[in-house]
Amino acid sequence: MQNVNIIAYDNEHQPHIRAIREAVFMQEQGVSPELEFDGLDASAMQVLVAVDGKYVGTGRMLDDGHIGRIAILRDYRGLGLGGRVVQALVDEAARRGYPRVYLGAQTHAVDFYTKLGFTPYGDEFMDAGIPHLAMEKSLV
């Protein structure tokens, strides 16, 4: 059973969010803790994904519609969970009346976000030593 829930970055959920992001971004991709944990989590809208009671994915959205930190543990990729995380954040942004959402997609993930309705704009840029492309989705 899969559950995708919007939650707070509180004492109950913070350890699970941090563990997933440490595994994906820090251990797999070599992102430094200072870049990964930027102090914005407490004010961001968070999503946690559970499969059979185990937390396996997360993502967040800042108040300006910036989606980021989409992470699914390696053993659970390919199940559509990342898309469900992004869609939960997009749906919440629409509910709140945001005109658009945007993100910095790692270049290998551009097709993933394109299938979710995002359009690339601007030039490729580096973030945490990883090539990215800015993408956006209009909600109006």
Domain span at residue 64 reads 2-98
Residue 122 lies in a domain: no
What pLDDT shows up at residue 1?
A: 83
For residue range 14-68, list pLDDT tens digits in order: 999 999 999 999 999 999 999 999 999 999 999 999 999 999 999 999 999 999 9
Give the CATH number for residue 60. Answer: 3.40.630.30
Residue 26 lies in a domain: yes
Give one word for 27, left, alpha or beta, with left for phi > 0 and alpha for psi -120 to 50: alpha
For residue range 59-114, list pLDDT tens digits in order: 999 999 999 999 999 999 999 999 999 999 999 999 999 999 999 999 999 999 99
Residue 118 lies in a domain: no
Q: What global pTM score does this model have? A: 0.94
What pLDDT shows up at residue 108?
A: 92
Residue 73 lies in a domain: yes
Q: Per this entry, what is the length of the chain?
A: 140
Residue 120 lies in a domain: no
Residue 80 lies in a domain: yes
- Distance between first and last Cα of the chain: 33
The number of beta carbons lying within 10 Å of the beta carbon of residue 4 is 17
Residue 84 lies in a domain: yes
Give the Cα separation of 70 and 56 in Å (integer): 11
Q: How many domains does the chain have?
A: 1
Residue 125 lies in a domain: no
